[in-house]
Amino acid sequence: MGRLANMNRPAAVEIAYECMRFLITHNPTNATLNKFTEDLKKFEVNTLVRVCDATYDKAPVEKEGIQVLVRVDSKDWPFDDGAPPPTQIVDDWLKLLNTKFREEPGCCIAVHCVAGLGRAPVLVALALIECGMKYEDAVQFIRQKRRGAFNSKQLLYLEKYRPKMRLRFKDTNGHNCCVQ
């Protein structure tokens, strides 16, 4: 894999909102794993969610203290490229965020698909929408940092998505906040 092959891959971007931090990135290979892991550490990622088929050995990442998440059924979280996520993945994703951001507010969760333009941004958008952001604002918020994110099918899914406000809570002063 030469330098040119990496040129068309957008750099990892951090999306921070209230007490949530995400790193949207592309799929590493075993050859680029060291650089990928360095990026994760630079953003203080402690959890990595993979929403495409595995193309690398997760052991070196885990050796750096970063949990590579597999779902309860021991599978990764893949769903079809260009498609909206299945309900079960959405539920598992929101459960994960609820737990992680309550236990470690401000921690960073990395999420990647192949190019980091479709599936990964959709999951981050869902988190923002569940926090009360309008879908248009969530899309724009992510696209400011991740140009080219979302296809028309994914945008339609996000537009029709009805949040259950699963990431909104009242803090001790009774103010609304996200996952505190």
Q: How many CB atoms lie within 10 A of CB 7?
A: 7
Q: Which has more pLDDT, 94 or 52?
A: 94
* Interval 81-86 mean pLDDT: 80
Query: Sheet holding 13-17: strands in order across?
Result: 13-17, 20-25, 108-112, 45-50, 67-69
The pLDDT value recorded for residue 70 is 62
Residues with catalytic function? 81, 113
| pTM of the shown model | 0.85
